[in-house]
Amino acid sequence: MTPQSATAENSTRPAGGTSPNAALQAVPRIALVGVHGFGERHLANLARLEEAGAVELVAVADPNPPAEGALAASVAVFADLAQLLAADPGVDIVILATPIQTHAPLALAALSAGKDVYVEKPPVASLAQFEEVLAGAEAAGRLVQVGFQSLGSQALPAIRTLVESGGIGDVLGLSAQGQWVRSKAYFKRSRWAGKRSLDGIDVVDGVATNALAHAVATALHMAGAHTIADVDSVETDLYRAHDTESDDTSILRVRTAGGTTLLCGLTLCAPEQQNPSVTVHGTLGEITLFYTEDEVVINTADGERRETFGRTDLLENLLEARFSGAPLLSSLADTGAFTTVLEAIRTAPAPQQISPEHITWEGEGDDAHPVVHGIGPLLERAAKGQATFAELEVPWARLLPPVRTFTLDGKEVAGYQDGSRIRAVSSPRPYLHPVRTLNGTIVSDHQPLDHVWHLGVGVALQDVDGINFWGGRTYTRAAGQYVWRPDHGSITSTGTPVEETAAAGTREGRLQESLSWNGPDGVPVLTEERTWTWSGVSASTWQLSLDFALSPAGDQPVSLGSPGSNGRHEGGYGGFFWRLPECEGATVWSPAGSGETGVHGSVTPWVAWSGTFGAGTFGTGIFGTGTSGTVTSKEGTSDGGTSGGSATLIFVAAEDSTDPWFVRVNGYPGVGQSLAWDTPVIAQPGHPVHRSITVFVADGILGTADIETLINRQGNRS
């Protein structure tokens, strides 16, 4: 066997003393299997405990013996565990700091010999091995501690107490983030490094199972998921930039049996090493644990608080458990949730290679390491939206086809999403994305970092009889601000949509659907009849029309409102909304004026938006937009999901419309029509609230004269 190499995350912290009962018991005799790599950390910790009289190191096992004089002459040295156990040097506890694939067989051997076991993480390489070792421990009546040192942090019970007391309100979810740097040399340190299997034996090395395994284990613990039964589902989205078998840049989405969602975003391909963290997101604030430092940061409306906690050494905890029956802080049984995640990774398809154009290699030779472009903001966006790389349509991620596509002349001009992958507090609903020009430039965005509940092109309202069908925080008149409330609804299809898709060579298509607007309890509040139509206009322009009618689901009137109707000045968004991607040189104008201040809140026949899309971004909103509307890559790199191109969108109101335009340019790019600008609209039984709009999507920059000609030619307005 090859000793397991050390990882920086696994640092063993001195606990500042031994168990107060240590002097009352026989000094436990310890054997360490694997003395190199992370085994050296165990040797240092054992030396500390020996000096305190808490343990005695009596034997080590390693095919590569320690250097002459490294150990006391009384310590017996063996080539492997089998020889050690056969010699029977009177060992009480066996510590395993060996390669991943050896953990299970070595643990079973030690347990069957009547020894307690401390095994490094991950404890095993499969769920089957987990169950086998767990059964072996129970049959032998022995203890198994797993080396997730972060679970000894005294910050964890403090965080749990704060959450349970309502200190950050209701929990919206948890996220774990890890951004580390690993070079080529890291994967050359041993035969098993970077392998999913070796010689037909599972290894399951990877960013989530080994390098940043503490991020996953700590997050699961904070989410209340310990055992196998505590995990409802695990979704994996695995990638690699290194020339390895294992993943080095991945998203994991775990849903617990208690209904909590945990999103883990992890990479070994960051521009620079950062302290990994786990965050509990609440309606009144957030708690972040930087677990390698045992530092807790609490952010609420009252400001920021920081506190650093101590940590209980897991070997000392094992000693105390042997003596007094105290609970293990990282028992094998309580790593069942982690092993469930490991099993999902083990059985998932092999990680997909990130294409070279999205990677920059830094350094030379074995010190070279890859940097995935924009990875930091992408991980932040994934955490906020509880979304995978594939769902965010990152250009190097796996393709998730939309539910259906709108086509013209064989070209895909829009994807129809049903919203089923959207988190609950973003008000899941159907929407169009990506929407493209005929030349292929993407002119819509979804789940952007600034507002992850903005979903492409569709219909959304923030106040439907007090229910939020927009997503995110709700603006209330009583609070005079945006607040998180458990008020999010969802919009779902109630039947089979009637689709007349444009066939190759044709220039039009139609989709009709019946939708139900359901409250948080699933009870319908509104019904909607929605029709999308699309048709070609010219070689460079096509038009998209939306017609929708909202009716009460019951026999009582329903109020349709907005932040504006609830008192927010000029905040009357709701109804039709089109979220655009970052746009360079954005220009917006109408017959009434230009710029955001000249158009926002106006009632005009049309509003136009032009600019260059896809320059320095890939429609994900991960780069910052300045007040001029230009977009700048934070890393000086350009990730082009399309070739980029200039485009003009013309939003044309229905002829009798009196709804003001809602326009944002500087804060974020978006255009909508306000259904309830400053006053609620009442949907009466038998009298639907009906709205319609047409949007021309054109390649290139059009002028006002071109726009007027286009609108009049199509007969959209008299």
Task: Quickly state the pLDDT bin for 500 (edges 50, 70, 90).
Answer: confident
How many domains is the chain partitioned into structurally?
3
- Mean pLDDT across the stretch 273-301? 97
One domain for residues 29 and 143: yes
Beta-sheet strands, E only, within 396-439: 404-408, 411-417, 431-435
pLDDT of 636 reads 30
Position 207 in a domain: yes
One domain for residues 512 and 569: yes
pLDDT of residue 671 exceeding 90: yes
pLDDT of 496 reads 87
Position 156 in a domain: no
236 near 348, Cβ under 8 Å? Answer: yes
Specify the residue for token string 């349509």: 393
Per-residue pLDDT reduced to its tens digit, 43-72: 999 999 999 999 999 999 999 999 888 899
Per-residue pLDDT reduced to its tens digit, 116-167: 999 999 999 999 999 999 999 999 999 999 999 999 999 999 999 999 999 9
Per-residue pLDDT reduced to its tens digit, 404-439: 999 998 999 999 999 999 999 999 999 999 999 999
Position 534 in a domain: yes
Share of the chain above pLDDT 70, in %: 91
Contacts of residue 648, defined as CB under 8 A and 6 or more positions apart, other chains included, come to 608, 609, 610, 696, 698, 700, 701, 702, 707
Q: What is the CATH number of the domain that holds 104?
A: 3.40.50.720
Max CA pair span of the chain: 99
Per-residue pLDDT reduced to its tens digit, 511-567: 999 999 999 999 999 999 999 999 999 999 999 999 999 999 999 999 999 999 999
132 near 344, Cβ under 8 Å? Answer: no
Of 122, 150, 178, which residue sits at a domain end? 150
Q: What is the CATH number of the domain that holds 219?
A: 3.30.360.10
One domain for residues 145 and 185: no
One domain for residues 33 and 88: yes
Position 393 in a domain: no
Task: Give one DSSP letter per residue of 36-82, joined into a string.
Answer: STTHHHHHHHHHHHHHTTS-EEEEEE-SSPPPTTSS-TTSEEESSHH
One domain for residues 102 and 183: no
pLDDT of 639 reads 35
pLDDT of 715 reads 75
pLDDT of residue 635 exceeding 60: no
One domain for residues 438 and 472: yes
One domain for residues 145 and 290: no
pLDDT of residue 2 exceeding 90: no
One domain for residues 448 and 521: yes
Position 325 in a domain: no
Of 150, 179, 195, which residue sits at a domain end? 150
pLDDT of 531 reads 98
Per-residue pLDDT reduced to its tens digit, 178-190: 999 999 999 999 9
122 near 209, Cβ under 8 Å? Answer: yes
One domain for residues 415 and 361: no
Paired tokens of 300: 């609420």
Bigger pLDDT: 600 or 634? 600
Pairing of strands 56-61, 29-33: parallel
pLDDT of residue 626 exceeding 60: no
Per-residue pLDDT reduced to its tens digit, 641-656: 445 799 999 999 999 9
Of 126, 150, 174, which residue sits at a domain end? 150
Q: How many other C-beta atoms lie within 10 A of the C-beta of residue 614?
A: 26
In Å, what is the CA distance from 143 to each residue of 66, 211, 351, 581?
A: 28, 25, 35, 55
Position 76 in a domain: yes
Give the domain extent around 701: 404-714
Per-residue pLDDT reduced to its tens digit, 217-232: 999 999 999 999 999 9
Check the CA dihedral 659-660-661-662 and report its sign: negative
pLDDT of residue 21 exceeding 60: no
**CA proximity to 575, closest of 463, 459, 491, 661:** 459
pLDDT of 7 reads 37
Bigger pLDDT: 639 or 605? 605
Task: Quickly state the pLDDT bin for 614 (edges 50, 70, 90).
Answer: confident
pLDDT of residue 479 exceeding 90: yes
Per-residue pLDDT reduced to its tens digit, 298-357: 999 999 999 999 999 999 999 999 999 999 999 999 999 999 999 999 999 999 999 999
Q: Which amino acid is at 1?
A: M
Q: Residue 263 and residue 382: Cα distance in Å, rounded?
A: 8
pLDDT of 473 reads 97
pTM of the complete model: 0.91
Paired tokens of 540: 């460079």
Check the CA dihedral 581-587-593-597 and report its sign: positive
Share of the chain above pLDDT 90, in %: 89
Paired tokens of 519: 């409250």
Per-residue pLDDT reduced to its tens digit, 562-607: 999 999 999 999 999 999 999 999 999 999 999 999 999 999 999 9
Q: Residue 692 and residue 354: Cα distance in Å, rounded?
A: 42
In Å, what is the CA distance from 84 to each residue of 60, 63, 89, 97, 108?
A: 8, 12, 7, 15, 14
| R_g (Cα) of the chain, nearest Å | 30
Q: Residue 273 and residue 457: Cα distance in Å, rounded?
A: 38
Kindly tell me the number of DSSP H helices and DSSP E strands found in the chain.
11, 43
Q: Residue 367 and residue 369: Cα distance in Å, rounded?
A: 6
One domain for residues 127 and 186: no
pLDDT of 716 reads 63
In Å, what is the CA distance from 660 to each residue of 477, 496, 576, 675?
A: 21, 33, 11, 8
Position 157 in a domain: no
One domain for residues 48 and 92: yes
pLDDT of residue 398 exceeding 90: yes
Bigger pLDDT: 674 or 624? 674
Q: Poorest-confidence range of 2-6, 34-38, 439-443, 541-545?
A: 2-6
Task: Quickly state the pLDDT bin for 615 (edges 50, 70, 90).
Answer: low
Position 554 in a domain: yes
150 near 218, Cβ under 8 Å? Answer: yes
One domain for residues 247 and 286: yes
pLDDT of 26 reads 87
pLDDT of 505 reads 58
